[in-house]
Amino acid sequence: MKDKKLLEGSVYKALIMLAVPIMLNNLLQTFYNLTDTYWLGRLNADSMAAITLVSPLQNVITSFGGGLTAGGSVILSQCFGAGDMKESSDTANQVFLMLMSFSVIAGLILFFGCGAMISGMGAQGTVYDYAVLYQRIMSADIPLIYAVNVYTSVHNSAGRTGKPLALNFVGIAVNMILDPLFIAVFGWGVGGAAVATVISKIPCAALAMYFLTRKDAQLRITPLRIRPDRKTILDIIKTGLPMGIGNSAMQFGFVLMNKNVMDYGTIAVAAYGIGNKLNGIVSTPSTAMSNAVSIISGQTKGAGMRKRGIQSMTAGMIMMVGLLAATGFVLSRNSISHAAAGIFSTDAEVINSAARFLAIMSAMTWTNGIYDSAKGYLTGQGRTLSTVTINAARLWLFRFAVLFVCESVLGMGVDSIWYAVTLSNAMAAAVMGIYAVITIRGSHAKKHLFYRPLHT
């Protein structure tokens, strides 16, 4: 199962080969929300505010399962790097069992508990009604998401990042047809957007299960014959649980962040949602590069090729810092930021506020290149607790601290939100990069100490 294209030759070529399909796949996933945002933005600010509030709420639950998925992916990458096909197959089956069980529980929690959660975020009136309706329908989407995630995890860990890309083309095509039909033609509004998203995920999940359970599949999932394996499950939990808890805590922080934004009104919430979505698009190459670095880092760890893993992190940083600096410069131009925000809203106040957010955030977008590549390397090495801790500190420590200073000390008003997001991301990037360097030097010193000849 070792892929010589990943473990030998140009590390830049290997990273690009992995990252491009992941990036395109992530963009397709983003289009699910962007399609909703586009059509709902043409209705009113309340609809935009509702889905902005709901997004981190759902992510609080799903990020926990995402941590378990990532833990399974790390172990799978190391198994593939070591050439252990049996262990890879066993791990994939246990990941499937854990995630599908969790998805059912998560869906029920969100369906029955979303009303109290959304109310606790400060939503009232129409925004509250829209948010609850959207979330209850979207609860059915969670098992479908995890079915696709298992397929993506298995193939990405093996370095076959192009296969999940083809699968998601089906879903986005269906969603782009159903969204305008349900929202604009049938007049279902927010509920129509949710129904369209759920329906579009059904063929993706069905195809994922078909390919994973085929008898001729090299790595096959056997749902009816899976038995819990204590050792494998504990390994996945040991690696993935810190990420699950940390990511959920981070998403809960986003919920509280949304509550702070809500204090500035519906216009600010809508602008915040648009700005974050556009920033997510811009940062997609860096996020994909993080996954690519993680795959190579994990496989090189399994194959005992330490230097190759470090090279992947360095190369990833060089490419992403340059790309994001150029993209950020373009997006910071006043005409570009207004045009980009105008795609998702017709409200002049929302557009102006979102453009202001983009202009501020774009100045430091390049730091994501450092953060994501360092995070990818550390994740592939199994240091998930460290990456999650830094990720949580980005929000709970850096972001809220900057927000407090800007609001309470400097009196910057709604600009406090924009600067809190921007500066906290840059601070976390510095910490993640420094920690990666410390980790590399520490492991290098230990290796030399361990292998030191006896006569010295």
Alpha helices in 181-229 (DSSP H): 189-213
Domain residue spans of the chain: 4-450
Q: Is the pLDDT of residue 2 over 50?
A: no
The reply to whether the predicted model has a pTM over 0.85 is no
Instruction: Give whichever of 100-104, 351-355, 440-444 has the largest mean pLDDT.
Output: 351-355
Matching residue, tokens 């066993």: 90
What mean pLDDT comes out for the span 349-368? 90
What percent of the chain has a predicted confidence (pLDDT) above 70?
91
**Integer angstrom CA distances of residue 211 from 32, 204, 402:** 23, 11, 47
pLDDT band (50, 70, 90) for residue 452: very low
Q: Could you report the per-residue pLDDT of 321-340, keeping only the tens digit for each?
A: 999 999 989 988 888 989 98
What mean pLDDT comes out for the span 29-39? 73
What pLDDT is stored for residue 369 in this prediction? 94
Q: Which two tokens stand for residue 71?
A: 């833990």
What pLDDT is stored for residue 84 in this prediction? 67
Q: What is the C-alpha end-to-end distance of the chain, expressed in Å?
A: 39
Q: Per-residue DSSP letters for 259-300?
A: HHHHTT-HHHHHHHHHHHHHHHHHTHHHHHHHHHHHHHHHHH
Q: Could you report the per-residue pLDDT of 61-75, keeping only the tens digit for each?
A: 777 777 777 777 777
Residue 350 CB contacts under 8 Å (≥ 6 apart), including other chains: 45, 48, 267, 270, 271, 274, 341
CA 255 to chain centre: 16
pLDDT band (50, 70, 90) for residue 175: confident
Burial class (CB in 10 A: 0-12, 13-18, 19+), 383: buried
pLDDT band (50, 70, 90) for residue 456: very low
Q: Could you report the per-residue pLDDT of 282-307, keeping only the tens digit for each?
A: 888 998 899 889 888 888 887 778 78
Mean pLDDT, rounded, of the chain: 82
Q: Could you report the per-residue pLDDT of 225-253, keeping only the tens digit for each?
A: 788 888 877 877 777 777 777 767 766 77
Nearest in space to 199 (alpha carbons), one of 32, 75, 74, 85? 32
Give dist(CA 204, CA 144) in Å, integer: 8
pLDDT band (50, 70, 90) for residue 162: low
Q: Is the pLDDT of residue 161 over 90?
A: no
Better pLDDT: 266 or 453: 266
Better pLDDT: 317 or 223: 317
Q: Is the pLDDT of residue 1 over 50?
A: no
The Cβ of residue 456 has, within 10 Å, a number of other Cβ atoms equal to 4
What percent of the chain has a predicted confidence (pLDDT) above 90?
24
Residue 449 CB contacts under 8 Å (≥ 6 apart), including other chains: none
Q: Is the pLDDT of residue 126 over 70?
A: yes
Q: Could you report the per-residue pLDDT of 410-434, keeping only the tens digit for each?
A: 999 889 999 999 999 999 999 999 9
Computed from CA positions of residues 438, 440, 441, 445, in that sequence, does the dihedral angle turn out positive or negative? Answer: positive
Q: Is the pLDDT of residue 443 over 70?
A: no
Better pLDDT: 42 or 24: 24
pLDDT band (50, 70, 90) for residue 281: confident
Q: Residue 412: helix, strand or coil by DSSP?
A: coil
What mean pLDDT comes out for the span 266-292? 86
